[in-house]
A and B are shown apart, each in its own frame.
Chain A
Amino acid sequence: MKDSNPMHFEGKSPKEHLKEARLKGLIASYEVHGMEMPGHIAAFADSMKDTTTLLLMIWALSLSLFQADTISKFMILFSLGWIIWKPARSAMLGWGRLERLHRLIEEERWEIDHNREQEKIELRAMYEDKGFKGKLLDEIVDTLMSDDNRLLQIMLEEELGLTLEIHEHPLKQALGSFIGAIIPCILLVASFYLCPPLIFPFLGLVLIGLASYTSAKLERNKKISGFVWNIASIGMVITVIYVISKIFVSN
């Protein structure tokens, strides 16, 4: 098939072009700060983990650096700011992702409208990769090219690796994040005031465990491994802070 617009592939083969496009789709669909899965439950788990970690760090500092009265006020005000920030950030990330995805879909639609021959070549390359050939391949390509809506969906899913109708609304995600932040804030601040000192870190670890378990379940990773690694990491962080803070106290 004749490539009527070589600029479309920028000197690469259709298969190299497909690889690049899939990477572009992958980048667009994830949160910029890492591999957090989009969705309100994932946002809840992530937020709970972050919030608990930060409060545990503050608690560790309080053991050596601050007066109990100062740290309790600090913890309340910090929690208040944090439970506003977390959902706001989550919503902004969600909207950012949606904007990137909408831009991609528009670019792909433009390609379909203006570079139909190139899109056909890409489609052919994709289905050749899947093992189709000969007349069957021609028929598949012709059928898919016959409907622009279907073609756009195929290109988004197969070329860019995106999936339709799986993302939650940024505000719903923000709500998950808000709940994930407010629960540890209320429980930990209350335990700081009302319970014996060791309940605070214990409760914190339970919350971390719960958040890690939820994340691992969503990502279909090993739950026990995820749970233990998270507890160990956060235990290490708190211990390092506590130990090092003693240097400042002794000086």
Chain B
Amino acid sequence: MIVGNKPFIFDEFFASGKEESISPFLTKSSKAWSKNLTLKSSILAAFLLLISFSIRNITPSISDALLVFVYFLVGTPALIDTIEDIRNLEINIDVLMTLAALLSVVIGSGFEGALLLVLFEVSAAMENTVTRKTKGALSTLHELSPNRAFVIDDSGQTWEKSTKDITVGTIILVKAGEIVPLDSRVIAGSSYINLSHLTGESIPISKKAGDEVQAGARNLDGTLTLEVLRVSADSTLTRIMQLITHAQETKPQLQRFIDKFGDKYAIAIILLSVIFALILPLMDSSLAYFGTEGSIYRSLTFLIAASPCALVIATPTAYLSSISSCARKGILLKGGIILDAISKCRAVAFDKTGTLTTGKLKCTLFSSTSPSREIIPALSIAASVEQHVIHPIADAFLNYAKEQNAPLVLIEDFKSIPGFGVQAKAQYKEKMEKVFIGHYGYVSSNFSDSVKEKLSSFQEIEPTEGKVISYILIGDELFYACFSDEIKQESVSTIKYLAEKFDIDTSMLTGDHQENAKSVGLKVGIQSIYSDLRPEDKLKIVADLSKEKGLIMVGDGINDAPALLRATVGISMGKIGSATAIDASDVVFLQDDLSCLEWLIHKSHSTLSVIKQNLCLALGVICLATSPAILGLVPLWAAVLLHEGGTVLVGLNSLRLLKK
């Protein structure tokens, strides 16, 4: 009975594919015995093989007995795999290696067979390491995913309930330090949350009533009462886990080809070896390297030298390492196929708002209808009134007041008129004055006769595209403030880097009018600016660029969904809560950081480069060793070393891609 105690966490065990080292049944001290068992047994086998080899001429019987141990330790797992493969009608590397080892024993080359099995086991242990590391991102998310929540019932009582049993609209409570279990909206309370587990972004984000929070976010300080927006199966965390799993399972074209080719190749190698073993003795024995002597030995050497172990692991280990590395960086990919596509693209198109710019408003001007008036006291009042409001303009007012060192003042009778603006009273020029803030229609409806007279010649300022104007009426004095979107800091450096380092054409696609688009485009250094675009125009440009150069389209994932889908590669940024973003894009940046793009393009190029190196190495070893093997120029042990050495090198080379 464990009620009240901490229950055993089974999720990690299942997520690992029931790994023995975390079995719930083993004692804590016993679990260490299971870690890297394949590697440990292959090291022990290698040690025994070395002793066996050393004492071969001194005590052959003990040497043979030790060799039997080696075959037991590394041959048994290989034999099990082989029998299972044959049962499934698969002729692959396992079958080739086991066959080669068995043939080695038959022709009296037991040492070479044992060496082959030991090295094969070492490379299998390495492949396991790569797979385990690539699964790391997923198991971290599993650890992060809470499976229960505190539900608040109608009477106000809290109950623990499994997240699987919680429906949309349920009210839950998340205390400080806890993980948000389901995608929800804050209905009471405020707190800072941290999404670093999901996005890598460690800066805390403030959440208050009305804001959405994603499953997996850590509540840092306050207590939040939340209304569940999505059930467990649809939550952001589940979608991210599904996306990572999908990415690991989706095979790029090259990998699919090698998998398909691998089986046929294995059969061909076995057949060729048999043919060589049968034909070589029939050939003229006076010719060098032919005749009966050693024909099976040579065929066996050929079989080992031509086995495609390194070739088979060359691509999957590289893609898996890269996908894992991307996931740790907060970049989700829909498979290795996307890395291929990215590396081939010669153009990048950006959406403007929310991609090159922050999408947050910034106050660029605070002015008065009369140039002689002092600005700071009015700014102080405006910011003091706006601090009671949750709105992007209010945030911009407060930030601007802070920048201009305008102190906040006391206000009275605050009132918000949704959709119009706000009003209050504040001390201004030693008098208590009425304050109205909002759009021109709202503010002008509160003009007194004297104001109307004063402003008879004043015309409402025409807002340029992308700009917002807010009016502030204090007593009978009118002020106005302009707001515009802020350019992201990393936009300039990223665009410069893409052009200089990768020679990629950059363009901006926006519905904004030309002047505003040009202003942003020039600031960030973009090469081509497409403005005044209707959605269909945008789609046409994306289609043309995709066809012409191969296009990476970067957008916010919601407004740009069609363009993201149409582009060669669609990337959505910082929209982890949006199902549309995840569905429409090939890549999701969990962080709202454009510099991830240069990192990703660099990673795609490195991945292809590593794959090319791996393939060259694997094919090189095969070409180098096969012909001399059949001519009897390469001894069996050398073929084994070349073959397995190549496999280990390919594995290690792929592991380099795990670097963040």
Contacts and interface: CB of A to CB of B under 8 A. Distances in A.
Interface stretch (A49-57, A165-173, A219-227, A234-242): A165-173
Contact of A98 (B8, B11, B23, B27): B23
Contacts of A165: 8, 24-28
A152 interface: yes
Given A162-B25, A171-B33, A143 B3 contact: yes
A150 B3 CA distance: 8
Contacts of B27: 165-169
A216 interface: no
Interface of A: 98, 101-102, 105-106, 109, 113, 116, 140, 142-154, 156-158, 162, 164-169, 171-172
Contacts of A102: 18, 23, 25
Given A142-B159, A169-B20, 9 more contacts: A98-B20, A105-B10, A105-B24, A143-B3, A146-B159, A156-B24, A162-B25, A168-B27, A169-B33
Given A153-B2, A165-B25, A147 B8 contact: no
B231 to A, nearest CB: 14
A164 B8 contact: yes
B454 interface: no
A164 B25 contact: yes
B160 interface: yes
B364 interface: no
Decide if the interface of chain A is mainly helix, strand, loop or mixed: helix
Decide if the interface of chain B is mainly helix, strand, loop or mixed: mixed
A147 B162 CA distance: 5
B549 interface: no
A102 B10 CA distance: 11
Contact of A150 (B7, B18, B30, B159): B7
Interface of B: 1-3, 7-11, 14, 18, 20, 23-28, 30-31, 33-34, 147-148, 159-162, 164-165
A147 B30 contact: no
Contacts of B33: 169, 171-172
A172 B28 CA distance: 12
10 nearest CB pairs, A to B:
A150-B7, A169-B33, A169-B30, A146-B160, A147-B148, A149-B7, A167-B25, A146-B161, A168-B30, A164-B24
A66 to B, nearest CB: 24
Contacts of A164: 8, 24-25
A167 B26 contact: yes
22 contacts: A98-B20, A98-B26, A101-B23, A102-B23, A102-B25, A113-B164, A116-B164, A140-B3, A144-B3, A146-B159, A146-B160, A146-B161, A148-B164, A150-B3, A164-B8, A165-B8, A165-B26, A166-B27, A167-B25, A168-B27, A169-B27, A169-B34
A147 B7 contact: yes
A156 B165 CA distance: 21
Nearest to B166: A146
Contacts of A157: 1-2
Nearest to A174: B33
Contacts of A109: 10, 14
Contacts of A148: 10, 147-148, 162, 164
B147 A98 contact: no
Nearest to A38: B25
Contacts of B25: 98, 101-102, 105, 162, 164-167
Contacts of A172: 30, 33
Contacts of A169: 20, 26-27, 30-31, 33-34
Contacts of B9: 149
A54 B430 CA distance: 110
Contacts of B30: 167-169, 172
Contacts of A154: 1-2
Contacts of A98: 20, 23, 25-26
Nearest to B164: A148
Nearest to B151: A146
A106 B13 CA distance: 10
Nearest to B41: A171
Nearest to A158: B1
Given A143-B160, A145-B162, A106 B24 contact: no
A14 to B, nearest CB: 19
A138 to B, nearest CB: 11
